[in-house]
Amino acid sequence: MRLRCQQFLNNFMQYKTAIGIRRAIEAKEITAIEVLEHYLEVIKNKDNEIGAFLEVFENEAREQANKIDNMVATGQSLPRMAGVPIAIKDNMLYQGKVASAGSKMLEKYVATYDSTVVDRLKKAGAVIIGRTNMDEFAMGSSTETSFWQKTKNPVDVTKTPGGSSGGSAAAVAAGMVPVSLGSDTGGSIRQPAALCGVVGMKPSYGRVSRYGLIALGSSLDQIGPFATTPQDAALVLEVIEGLDVHDATSVELTETTASELIEENFNGMKFGVPKEYFVDEMDSEVKKVIEEAINQIKENGGTIKEVSLPLTEYALSAYYIIQPAEASSNLGRFDGMRYGTRALSDNLKESYLMARGEGFGNEVKRRIMMGAYVLSAGYYDAYYKKALQIRQMIANDFKRVFEEVDVIISPTSPCVAWGLGDKFDDPIAMYLADIFTVSANIAGIPGISVPCGTVHGLPVGLQFLAGAFKDGKILRVAAAFEQLKVNNS
């Protein structure tokens, strides 16, 4: 076993992708248990420094891997992700395991059922290796609001990995898993993907079931993959997407994802570059890298056109009204009685106050108060109702632009990864990290971030956006851009 695991390590470049691992297992070049043991060893060696994982499911993962090896041994047809290790964010339910959403409030909550994405991963033969750290209840952009630990960026451990899905992004960036799942409410997959230098995709709203996801903003949340290649992201999406009877917002798809069908070229594609996404607050070096990437696309067959999304300047404000409003409603159930850590008191009111006061961190409390305020009788029309109107106008802006172009190109983040603690005490500065990502959630459209260069040795992310349920378009251009980098390397 040790010899074979060393051979796996020596040939790691061949097996580093989910697609490559699955093919190697099917070809009997290596076993699922050997793949798993390799990744468990990487986690053991690296995660003490990085802090990506909250829990590793060694026993369950070995059981899943052994099932795949038994299928190979008996000549059975293998499912789509047979033997591929994957990590899940701490807000996705896995029956029999803690799902704490990064919060003290849920430190003892054990899931009684599988979320739909976990169920579909299991059926596809994936090996679920553990749960990853996150900002508390997905509120944050740096994975520093987690009650449990702070996750560090594998590229530079003095920097943030981004958030709220920073643990999932860091796990892929550090080579601890080939793929992982995160959730994206305002950029929580794409932004950490950009800061860690990996691929991160937010599917169209409704493409992936939210059943069994601990909700932040129900009209904004969407589960999606982290990966090292767009093809791997497509493979994971293919497994988890589609209609779910448990989620009324999920959609029956007329066109499903298939990683093998992704074209790797820009031929005939029209790209829109919104002038509003190149703001003064953006790092000038990041801007330069993004402009170089756009020129590369143009030189390799893509048609570039400047477009305008005039309501972009209102997107962040609308988001930070709608999201806290939905969060304050969703988190009402965590009161120490129905859900959450129980506070012992003879007085019911004191029990509620103690449970929520001790169970929630400062960022969660801040957003609950913001949400309760904008939903209150005297301010509902002035704030929440207007934000919903802006939301529809932003969606209409995107629809208009997508009549002219196939895909929008933009930066994913206005800056590269910042130092741990640098923005922790400045909520407004932290919120501005999502300036280029929140619009996609507001409009319900798909977005993907791919690495496109470095600034000061830190990754820069390039974002592609497309119309609702045109997820295949952004996967195509992401794969083409990835191939372009390979050809030029």
Predicted pLDDT at 431: 84
Query: Strand 179-184 to strand 222-227: parallel, antiparallel, or no bridges (unpaired)?
Result: antiparallel
Q: What's the token pair of residue 399?
A: 């629809």
Predicted pLDDT at 105: 94
> Does 344 score more than 80 pLDDT?
no
Phi, psi of 368 (to 5 degrees): -60, -45
Active site positions, annotated: 89, 164, 188
103-112 as b/e, with b when 16 or more CB fall inside 10 Å? Answer: bbbbeebebe
Q: Would you call 16 helix, strand, or coil by DSSP? A: coil
Distances (CA, A) of 301 to 265, 272, 401: 8, 14, 20
Q: What is the mean pLDDT of residues 332-361?
A: 81
Predicted pLDDT at 132: 98
Predicted pLDDT at 13: 52
Q: Where are the alpha helices (DSSP H) in 51-96?
A: 58-73
> Does 213 score more than 90 pLDDT?
yes
DSSP state of 156: B
Q: Give me the percent of the chain exceeding a pLDDT of 70.
A: 97
Domains of the chain listed by start with CATH number: 2-261 (3.90.1300.10)
> Does 1 score more than 80 pLDDT?
no
> Does 36 score more than 60 pLDDT?
yes
Nearest to 90 by CA among 104, 69, 75, 78: 104
DSSP state of 454: E
Q: What is the mean pLDDT of residues 453-481?
A: 97
Count of beta carbons in the 10 Å neighbourhood of residue 370: 18
> Does 425 score more than 70 pLDDT?
yes
| Residue 300 pLDDT class (50, 70, 90 cuts) | very high
- Contact between 320 and 430 (Cβ < 8 Å): no
The pLDDT tens digits of the residues spanning 373-416 come to: 999 988 999 999 999 999 999 999 999 999 999 999 999 999 99
The pLDDT tens digits of the residues spanning 217-250 come to: 999 999 999 999 999 999 999 999 999 999 999 9
> Does 308 score more than 90 pLDDT?
yes
The pLDDT tens digits of the residues spanning 65-119 come to: 999 999 999 999 999 999 999 999 999 999 999 999 999 999 999 999 999 999 9
The pLDDT tens digits of the residues spanning 239-284 come to: 999 999 999 999 999 888 877 778 888 999 999 999 999 887 799 9
From 1-5, 415-419, 429-433, the region with the lowest mean pLDDT: 1-5
- Contact between 448 and 475 (Cβ < 8 Å): yes
> Does 8 score more than 60 pLDDT?
no
